[in-house]
Amino acid sequence: MAVEKPKLKLAVYWGAACGGCCVSVLDVHEHLFDIVENADLVFWPIALDIKYGDVEAMPDQSIDITLFNGAVRNSENEHMAHVLRQKSKILIGYGSCAHMGGIPGLANFSNKEDIFKRVYEDSESTENPGKVRPVEELDVKEGHIHIPHFYNDVMTLAQTVDVDYFIPGCPPQSERLLEVFLAVVNGAELPPKGSVIGAFPRVQCDDCKRKKSDKKGITRFFRPWEVEDDGETCLNEQGILCMGPATRGGCGVRCVEGNAPCRGCYGPLDDIPDAGAKNMSVIASMLEGKEPDEIGQAIDSIVDPAGTFYRFSLPGSKLRRKLS
């Protein structure tokens, strides 16, 4: 008589992120049955009524796989990162925010004081003549209120705890998640700890069907809505900034297939230490042979270069944050 294989224990946590990664777990569609056949969800705040205290009471290493999505923005995120690291056999940084800092990481171009001033005092929709700001501890008649401490820096998951693997993307593509999950279920040999999994060891351009040449005629860069894309030519060669040359494949080139430039959410290959710097070097190569004034004009046409080249990767980059 065959012995029934025990189900894996699976957890999903949402840190500083938009929530798209949490929802992407459901994008496996009918393959969701493959997941529930092989795993029990023991913690998933958006879907299960389980409290932090319940997780803290679980035995150490009792969770087989945790998908931690989101950056670490505040003390609550950091606390749960440590708790889930302690309770999990395999902790996966799931999505761009956990992997590199993501969109929330762009806050590192500012600081806590400037962010609070903008949000609670200066925004166009704010009426706050008393300049009241949130406090972390407050006693009210209903009881004691405690809210998380807001950090000055946004951090990646790996800057906070030890991480086993990373699945990149904003959000990761469901096919890649299913591949990783079934590999664990079937006992397949996983790559070395710290590896990016659920992605390809090649750049987006290798999977892109658009026509490429050695064109060096760029004198200005455009935002996508400013030009009429011909639907066939490399977007960079049309002056539309595309991060494909410096971005790891694995998403199916979905943005470019939809006639939108790659934004870089899958991050750089292992041998590229800084995604933003690599993106800038790609653009520099397109300006080769130009006169200095032409180069300056082209660079000036890039709207928000820092936010463009480091859109998903600032906290995890060599730059990490604005110094002042």
| Element holding 79 (H helix, E strand) | helix 75-87
Window from 35-49, 71-85, 152-166 with minimum mean pLDDT: 35-49
- Are 54 and 121 in the same domain? no
Residue 323 located in a structural domain? no
- Are 47 and 26 in the same domain? yes
Residue 2 located in a structural domain? no
- Are 71 and 176 in the same domain? yes
Q: How confident is the model at residue 190 (pLDDT cuts 50, 70, 90)?
A: confident
Q: Which residues of 188-213 are buried (b: 16+ CB within 10 A; e: fewer)?
A: eeeeeeeebbbbbeebbbebbebeee
Please confirm whether the linkage preceding 171 is cis (ω < 30° from 0). yes
Is the pLDDT assigned to residue 110 strictly greater than 60? yes
- Which is nearest to 115 in space by CA: 152, 154, 77, 76? 152
pTM listed for this prediction: 0.92
Amino acid 193: pLDDT: 93
Residue 26 located in a structural domain? yes
Is the pLDDT assigned to residue 139 strictly greater than 90? yes
- Are 118 and 172 in the same domain? no
- Are 50 and 22 in the same domain? yes
**Boundary of a domain, candidates 164, 196, 228:** 196
Domain containing 126: what range? 114-151
Residue 222 located in a structural domain? yes
Is the pLDDT assigned to residue 75 strictly greater than 90? yes
- Are 31 and 68 in the same domain? yes
Q: How confident is the model at residue 167 (pLDDT cuts 50, 70, 90)?
A: very high
- Are 99 and 244 in the same domain? no
Residue 3 located in a structural domain? no
- The top-scoring range by mean pLDDT among 18-22, 90-94, 221-225, 279-283 is 90-94
- Are 253 and 129 in the same domain? no
Total domains present in the chain: 3
- Arithmetic mean of pLDDT, 120-143: 94
Is the pLDDT assigned to residue 216 strictly greater than 70? no
Residue 232 located in a structural domain? yes
Residue 109 located in a structural domain? no
173-179: Cβ within 8 A, 24+ apart: 173/198, 173/250, 173/251, 173/252, 173/254, 174/24, 174/27, 174/28, 174/29, 174/31, 175/252, 176/250, 177/24, 177/25, 177/28, 177/94, 178/28, 178/31, 178/34, 178/35
- Are 190 and 90 in the same domain? yes
- Are 53 and 65 in the same domain? yes
Chain-wide mean pLDDT for the chain? Answer: 91
Amino acid 52: pLDDT: 94
Rounded distance between C-alpha atoms, residue 44 and residue 318, angstroms:
33
CATH code of the domain in which 90 resides: 3.40.50.700
Report the relative pairing of strands 39-43 and 8-14 from DSSP bridges. Answer: parallel
Amino acid 166: pLDDT: 96
Q: Which residues pair with 294 in a beta bridge?
A: none
Residue 38 located in a structural domain? yes
- Are 157 and 91 in the same domain? yes
Rounded distance between C-alpha atoms, residue 291 and residue 207, angstroms:
33
Is the pLDDT assigned to residue 2 strictly greater than 60? no
- Are 296 and 240 in the same domain? yes
Q: How confident is the model at residue 4 (pLDDT cuts 50, 70, 90)?
A: low
